[in-house]
Amino acid sequence: MQGEGATCFQDSYLIDVREPEETMQGMIPSAVNIPLSVLAGALHMPPETFKEKFGFEKPKPDQEVTFYCRSGMRSTTASDVAKRNGYTAILNYKGSWLEWTDKQNKKGST
C-alpha cells in the first residue's frame, strides 16, 4: 500500500507517517506511507534506494510535502524532521486522519 498514490514527476506529496499496521484502517487518497520511525533515514537515502524501498520517487527538497498521522502529533514531528533535513516546502495537516475521517463520515450522512 505504501506507494500506491504517488506518481513519478509529481509536484507534491501527501505522506502518512503512521506505522504500516495503522494504515490498514485506511489512508487519505493519493497518500503514501513513510512511518515516522524511519523518516529521517529515508530522507538521507539516495533516490534509487528510496524508490526501491518505498515504491515511489523521493521528494526533492523544494517539492511540496504535506505530512499527516492519526491526530497531528507525529506529523508535526515529521515536518520538523524534514525541515532539519533541508526540505523547504513542508506542510502539516494538523487535523490528520481523525479530522479527515470525521469529514468523510459527515459527507456520507448528508
Q: Is residue 16 part of a domain?
A: no
pTM for this predicted structure: 0.89
pLDDT tops 80 at residue 97: yes
Whether residue 109 has pLDDT greater than 90: no
Domain span holding position 66: 60-86+99-110
HSE (side-chain half, CA atoms, 13 Å) at 15: 31
Instruction: Please report whether residue 37 resides in a domain.
Output: no
Total structural domains in the chain? Answer: 1
Question: What mean pLDDT, rounded, does the chain reach?
Answer: 92
80 within a domain of the structure (yes/no): yes
Domain presence at residue 17:
no
Q: What is the pLDDT of residue 110?
A: 60
82 falls within a domain: yes
**Is 66 part of a structural domain of the chain?**
yes
Catalytic residue selected from 27, 69, 81, 82: 69
Instruction: Please indicate whether residue 69 is annotated as part of the active site.
Output: yes
Backbone angles phi, psi at 55, to 5 degrees: 85, 15
